[in-house]
Structure 1
Amino acid sequence: MDSTGSRDRDFIDKVRGEWAQSYPEVDTAPIEIIGRITRISSQALHQLERALAPSGVSRAEFEVLCALARSDRPLRASEVTAVTMVSGAATTKHADRLVKLGLVERQRFERDGRVVLLQVTDAGRELVDRELPQRVERDSRLLDGLDQDERAELARLLRRITRNSDDADRS
């Protein structure tokens, strides 16, 4: 099951061992990778939630702010939804709260007054300017011990898995 020594075993190795006991007929090899991706993601998002708590902004709201901050123009709610991968209703809810907090503003689209655009405010940009570098630093610490070549190879492999996931999502 595990090609590493027992000293290098992690939580996922433990889970696979438990599944092997309960369901020996099921090949749980994909858990070696997907389980670790899921665990790392969950832990990284939990760290982000904790770090954002003092600002009063949730992780999902921060993702909306980031989508707006990195855009070179105001975005429609549907565009924010597309890049944050949350539902349209959730985007509206997050935008409403961010507007109340003064971090996002709504604007009417000049060519069609029925279309509402979202734009990050100066206060919202200050929050992103403060929190984003810290997030990147936390993410960087997760990669400690990997040299640049290993990081590049890992990114290449994960990109392939991401494409598979995106393709499955479209099917």
Structure 2
Amino acid sequence: MDVVGRISAQWRERYPDMDLSPIEVIGRVRRLGVLSGQMPERVLGEPRLSRVELEVLSALRRSGGQMRPSLLTRETLSSGAATSKRLAKLAEEGLISRSASGRDRREIDVRLTERGREVIDRVLPAQIEWERELLAPLSDAERAQLADLLAKVLGPLDPPA
């Protein structure tokens, strides 16, 4: 029995008439999120990146290399303060640059540097392989079904693009 199964069983002892199925689903999704966020160093490589810093670089790479901080905040489900802190660290590492927007000098554009692009292009395949290893107990059909079910749950919760 996994950790969430034990937690659910303990709650069933205390509340035998309560439907505890949300604990079994949400608890496992949250636990998977935490455990999958603990990528080994072989995946992250150097410089030592956190999962959320990697998400910032990924968002920049997917978008063509440039975004405003407010959009990065939305993309990474972070607070503005957390995004600012991450951007400062990534800039210090030489992975991004920040400059005044050409459209509006009050805005800042965040750009992926050549070094940042090289890092994400090296780390992404290792990240995908790590995630494939995590999902190894599932068949291709089960993986597709799980992805569809999670998309169905997330649909009404995710902010529109």
Task: Normalising by structure 1, report the TM-score.
Answer: 0.83
Q: Residues 149 and 48 (structure 1 numbering): CA distance in 2 closer, same or farther, change over 3 Å?
A: same
Match of 1:100 in 2: 92
Q: Residues 25 and 49 (structure 1 numbering): CA distance in 2 closer, same or farther, change over 3 Å?
A: farther
CA displacement, residues 50-92 of structure 1 (integer Å, 9 cap, x when unaligned): 8437523222222111111111251111111111110111111
Q: Give the counterpart of 1:21 among 7, 13, 20.
A: 13
CA distance in 2, matches of 1:62, 1:119: 14
Select the structure with the greater relative contact order (CA < 8 A; seq sep ≥ 6).
Answer: 2
Q: Give the counterpart of 2:74 among 74, 82, 87.
A: 82
User: 5+ unaligned residues in a row in structure 2: which ranges?
Assistant: none
Question: Which range moved further: 33-42 or 139-148?
Answer: 139-148
Match of 2:31 in 1: 39
CA distance in 2, matches of 1:54, 1:63: 15
CA distance in 1, matches of 2:5, 2:50: 32
Work out whether residues 66 and 111 of structure 2, in 8 Å CA contact, stay in contact via their aligned partners in 1.
Answer: yes
CA displacement, residues 115-171 of structure 1 (integer Å, 9 cap, x when unaligned): 21001101111111121111111111122132222222111111111124337xx9x
CA displacement, residues 7-27 of structure 1 (integer Å, 9 cap, x when unaligned): xx3222211111112333432
Q: Residues 111 and 164 (structure 1 numbering): CA distance in 2 closer, same or farther, change over 3 Å?
A: closer
Partner SS state of residue 40, structure 1: helix
User: 5+ unaligned residues in a row in structure 1: which ranges?
Assistant: 1-8
Map residues 68-79 of structure 1 onto 2, 5 A cutoff: 68-79=60-71
Partner SS state of residue 78, structure 2: coil
Task: Normalising by structure 2, report the TM-score.
Answer: 0.88
Work out whether residues 68 and 107 of structure 2, in 8 Å CA contact, stay in contact via their aligned partners in 1.
Answer: yes
Q: Give the counterpart of 1:148 among 140, 143, 147.
A: 140
Partner SS state of residue 105, structure 2: strand
CA distance in 1, matches of 2:101, 2:93: 22
CA distance in 2, matches of 1:94, 1:146: 34
CA distance in 1, matches of 2:86, 2:3: 34
Q: CA RMSD in A?
A: 2.2
Q: Residues 50 and 23 (structure 1 numbering): CA distance in 2 closer, same or farther, change over 3 Å?
A: farther
Between the two proteins, the alignment pairs up a number of residues equal to 160
Q: Give the counterpart of 1:157 among 103, 126, 149.
A: 149
Work out whether residues 45 and 123 of structure 2, in 8 Å CA contact, stay in contact via their aligned partners in 1.
Answer: no
Q: Residues 49 and 64 (structure 1 numbering): CA distance in 2 closer, same or farther, change over 3 Å?
A: farther
